[in-house]
Chain A
Amino acid sequence: MDQAELVAAAKAGDSRAFEELVRDTYTDVYALAYRLTGNEEDARDVVQEAYLRAYKGLKRFRGDAQFSTWMYRITANCASTAMTKGKKHRHEELEDEAPLADTRPEHDPEAAGDAELLRARLNDALEELPPRLRSVVILRDMYDLPHQAIADELGISEAAAKVRLHRARRRLRERLFPKSEEENAHAV
Chain B
Amino acid sequence: MRCEDVSQALPEIVDGAATADLALRRHVDTCLRCQAELAQYRKVLRAMHQLRTEVLEPAPGLLADILAKVEEAGERRALKSLLTKRRVAYAGAIAATAAAGAAGAVIFGRRRLRAA
Interface residues of chain A, those whose CB is within 8 Å of chain B, are 15, 18-19, 22-23, 26-27, 30-31, 34-35, 40, 43-44, 47-48, 51-52, 55-56, 115, 118-119, 122-123, 137-138, 141-143, 147, 162, 165-166, 169-170, 172-173, 176-177, 187
Contact = CB atoms under 8 A, between A and B. Distances in A.
B interface, by DSSP: helix, strand, loop or mixed?
A: helix
B73 interface: yes
Interface of B: 4, 11-12, 14-15, 17, 37, 40-41, 43-45, 47-52, 54-59, 62-63, 65-67, 69-71, 73-74
A122 B44 contact: yes
B73 A52 contact: yes
Contacts of B17: 147
Q: B17, B66, B69: which has the most chain A beta carbons within 10 Å?
A: B66
A112 to B, nearest CB: 12
A24 to B, nearest CB: 11
A143 to B, nearest CB: 7
B62 A44 contact: yes
A40 B60 CA distance: 12
Contacts of B71: 15
Given A30-B56, A166-B11, A48 B65 contact: yes
A48 B55 contact: no
A180 to B, nearest CB: 12
B51 A122 contact: yes
15 contacts: A19-B67, A27-B58, A31-B55, A40-B59, A47-B58, A48-B65, A115-B50, A118-B43, A122-B51, A138-B48, A142-B51, A166-B12, A173-B11, A176-B44, A177-B40
Contacts of A27: 55-58
A172 B50 contact: no
Given A26-B62, A52-B70, A173 B40 contact: yes
